[in-house]
Amino acid sequence: MYINEQYQNLSLLGKKEYQYIGRDRKICIEEEQVLNEHVIDVYVNDRLTMKLICLPQHLAELVLGRLLTEQIITSAEDVEHIYICEYGKRAKVYLKNTADTNAPFTDSFVEVTPTCCTGNHILNNYFVSTKEPEVLTPIHWEPEWIFHMADAFADGSPLHSITFATHSCLLAKEDQILFSCEDIGRHNALDKVIGYALRHNIDLHQCMIYSSGRIPTDMTMKAIQAGIPVLSSKASPTSEAIELAREYHLTLICAARRDRMKVFTSPDLCSTSSDV
């Protein structure tokens, strides 16, 4: 896989004025740094396939991760070339085995289950897969590894500390944090860490994820599609996400903070499970 990224240091923040009104009704004009929303069009084999609203950093990772969690690819080996323009507005992806795509193509918009609250869309059904996700193979995990990720998250995310407007995601293997990122949407942040693993030949089947966001079924399915056996989050899951995790043998840990966690599903409880 060859990746050609032409963009550099795109602006993540902008300054905006606002009126500050206190309880005493006094009005002050102040200025604050806010996130810049960025839109990138993703072309797959020269077909406009996705529009992603994101922060303009780690764009190749975002594209790779989204391709995997939408099952357009099954591994990095499926990708021949990724090109991202100097403005970060257009990504061109060329796949190796295009003859394997049998789905009929339509130019009309196809609404798939939304993958992000920021309004990301899939624009056609050319690459829609009907392949059933594989049941995960559980891995051994320790509570200390989850607490380590919770500590790293609590110690702060640079953009969130300025804006209070980002989600974060961490990728870890055992007690080692391999990568962390922020984005406007929690789905994007998850896709970015997945894309990082693909780009750097990290086996996702041996990894754990920590997310700052709530865990509904679409976040759960992203982890399952990527083959990640342990998904943890600071926030809460839905009942449907718990049932989906149980069906696919995903370890699901939520409300994970520095001092406690809630284990909703764990097919292969760790050796200290009696203390969880």
Mind listing the pLDDT tens digit for each residue in 234-263?
999 999 999 999 999 999 999 999 999 999
Helix (H, G, I), strand (E, B) or coil at 226: helix
**Portion of the chain with pLDDT greater than 90, in percent:** 81
**Helix ranges restricted to H, 140-251:** 143-154, 158-163, 186-199, 217-226, 239-247
Whether 181 contacts 217, CB under 8 Å: no
CA dist 228 and 250 (Å) reads 8
Q: Nearest Cα to 233, choosing from 262, 204, 259, 206?
A: 262
Alpha helices by DSSP H, listed for 37-140, are: 59-69
CA distance 68 to 34: 30
* pLDDT at residue 271 in the model: 44
Q: What's the pLDDT band for 120 if we cut at 50, 70, 90?
A: low
Identify which has the larger pLDDT, 245 or 109: 245
- Closest by CA to 204, choosing from 227, 188, 224, is 227
Average pLDDT, the chain: 89
Provide mean pLDDT across the span 111-120: 54
Alpha helices in the chain (DSSP H): 59-69, 143-154, 158-163, 186-199, 217-226, 239-247
Position 268 pLDDT exceeds 90: no
Is the per-residue pLDDT at 125 higher than 70?
no
Pick the CATH number of 38-122 from 3.20.20.220, 3.40.50.2000, 2.60.120.1570, 3.10.20.10: 3.10.20.10
Query: Among 12-21, 23-32, 117-126, 199-208, which stretch is predicted with the lowest mean pLDDT?
Result: 117-126
Angle at 57 between CA 125 and CA 201, to 5 degrees: 75
> In angstroms, rounded to a whole number, what is the distance separating the alpha carbons of residues 191 and 159?
18
Task: Sketch the domain layout of the chain as residue ranges.
Answer: 38-122, 143-275
Per-residue confidence (pLDDT) for residue 111, from 0 to 100: 45
Q: Does domain 143-275 have CATH number 3.40.50.150?
A: no
